[in-house]
Amino acid sequence: MALYRFGNRVPSFGEGTWISDSARVIGDVVIGGDCYIGHGVILRGDYGSIRIGHGTAIEENATVHINPNSLSVIGDRVTIGHAAVIHCSQIEDLAVIGMGAVLSFDVRIGRWAILAEGCVVPHGVEIPAETVVAGVPAKKVQDVQARHKEFWTRGKQLYIDLAHQYPVEYERID
């Protein structure tokens, strides 16, 4: 894994968390337990701070960054899809951020909100809890249904399980 000190800012992570050797975790980043930090992920706590809750998955090539002297809080069991760009203030528990989504500065995402692939949430927008949004800019499509929660609860557990599998099964062979 690639953890980097930046000045006096040092990353840390909890038990059961797996961080890819190709990820870059820089500076003031605190990651909870049982998280999956995928290949190519960049978590930049160089001049801002990032807090990631328990059981969260940040999938391949996603980037999380925040304004100078600001804090980005990502809750428990959040799913951040491949290649998402996260510059927001808060993503509450159980939210789902689709692949390639872009969340700008001062954005707040509510509990169990689901953002479709490729959507863009502009500066300062708040997405309410249990809302599905899509598009550029992101607009409400529907309310979150029980079927969404069932599907994503299984997906979230898959990544927690994967975080536990990687230390045992992942081996460079060249």
Kindly list the domain boundaries of the chain, sorted by start residue.
Answer: 3-169
Q: Which helix (H) or strand (E) holds 109?
A: strand 108-109
**Residue 2: what pLDDT?**
87
Tokens for 152, please give them: 């994503």
Distances from the Cα of 147 to the Cα of 52, 71, 128, 154, angstroms: 26, 33, 19, 11
**Residue 106: what pLDDT?**
94
User: Is 61 within 8 Å of 39 (Cβ atoms)?
Assistant: yes
Q: For 2-20, b where at least 16 C-beta lie within 10 A, e where not — what string?
A: ebbeeeebebebeebbbbb
Angle at 156 between CA 159 and CA 99, to 5 degrees: 85
Strand arrangement, sheet containing 131-134 = 18-19, 36-37, 57-58, 79-80, 96-97, 114-115, 131-134, 139-143
The Cα–Cα gap between 42 and 146 comes to 32
Estimate the share of the chain in helix, then strand, then coil, as percent rounded to the nearest 5.
15, 35, 50
User: Is 83 within 8 Å of 42 (Cβ atoms)?
Assistant: no
Q: How many residues does the chain have?
A: 174
pTM recorded for the entire structure: 0.96
- CATH label, 3-169, candidates 2.160.10.10, 3.40.50.300, 3.40.190.10, 2.40.160.40: 2.160.10.10
pLDDT tens sequence for the chain (174 residues): 789 999 999 999 999 999 999 999 999 999 999 999 999 999 999 999 999 999 999 999 999 999 999 999 999 999 999 999 999 999 999 999 999 999 999 999 999 999 999 999 999 999 999 999 999 999 999 999 999 999 999 999 999 999 999 999 999 899
User: Is 39 within 8 Å of 57 (Cβ atoms)?
Assistant: no
